[in-house]
Amino acid sequence: MIFNYQIIIEYLGVNFVGWQIQKNGASIQAEIERALSKALKSKIKLIGSGRTDAGVNAWGQSANFKVNNEIKNIFKILTTVNFYLNKHSISVIKLKKKNLNFHARHSAKKREYEYIIFNRKSKLAIDKDRVWLVKNNLDIKKMKKAIKFFKGTHDFSAFRASSCSSKTPIRTITKTNLKKIKGKIIINFVSKSFLQKQVRSMVGCLKLVGENKWRPEKIKYILKTKKRKLCAPPAPPEGLYLKQVLY
């Protein structure tokens, strides 16, 4: 008999080549597969909800795997898996049984990404490798005005990486939010799916608006042109988090 399980994972991406298994370095997927295979004494193949690039973090990455034997003691397996992951900045925070049709990627209805900018002059100590430090003063009002142009269905060709393999650049962003809390600017985007480096590219543009180098309306103009060369450089990966995947 086959059983299907979902796991929810949090991780810091700083020491990894990304979620997906690659030949050029350690990946989050490979480390979790190794830990699960040891804990369950069976070869495990993980299906992730989506790839996160090198250096990108997650609070709520979702994945599923199938196994021949039912997991009787969820807590024991969770504890064992996290023991094997102890030397890595990865934690499996939930393990739950799902029906056989559940697929971490294809069943997802929405994904939420959060980007954190720390806007201050001083260097980072506690938040190093966890946020983007921007020392120039940022105009929050202008950034809030600019982010609204991303909402809705658009051709995001200007905001995708040249290596992006998605068949279409059309995406629908259903929710945007930008707020400042004690020096941290927290930016959220919700969509069914995102293009490679789309969120980081959008944040890079918002930063230029906040520095008064661009007017908020330039976002609308770049969307219309569909030209990657007009887009700002992508924000660094360490400030980006896959917050949650909704099913």
Q: Set out the domains of the chain in order of their start, with CATH numbers.
A: 3-98 (3.30.70.580), 110-246 (3.30.70.660)
Q: Catalytic residue among 53, 127, 129, 139, which? A: 53
CA distance 213 to 139: 11
Chunked into runs of 10 residues, the chain (247 residues) has average pLDDT values of: 97 93 92 97 96 94 97 96 97 97 97 98 94 97 98 97 91 98 97 96 98 97 96 97 98
Quote the pLDDT of residue 186.
98
pLDDT of residue 116: 98
Three-class SS string for 79-143?
A: HHHHHHCCCCCEEEEEEEEECCCCCCCCCCCEEEEEEEEEECCCCCCCCCCCCEEECCCCCHHHH
| Tokens representing residue 235 in the block | 């924000």
Q: What is the pLDDT of residue 165?
A: 86
Residue type present at position 47: I
Please name which of 147, 149, 169, 150 lies closest in space to residue 160, comparing C-alpha atoms. Answer: 169
Query: What is the distance between the alpha carbons of residues 160 and 225, in angstroms, rounded to a whole number?
Result: 13
Place of tokens 């995708």: 160
Q: Which residue has the tokens 């720390």?
A: 118
Residue 24: what pLDDT? 87
Torsion of CA 46, 62, 152, 138, to 10 degrees: -120
53 a catalytic residue = yes
Query: DSSP secondary-structure letter at 41?
Result: T
| Residue 65, φ and ψ in degrees, nearest 5 | -150, 155
Amino acid symbol at 133: L
* Rounded Cα–Cα distance for residues 44 and 64 (Å): 10
Return the residue matching tokens 């890595």: 88
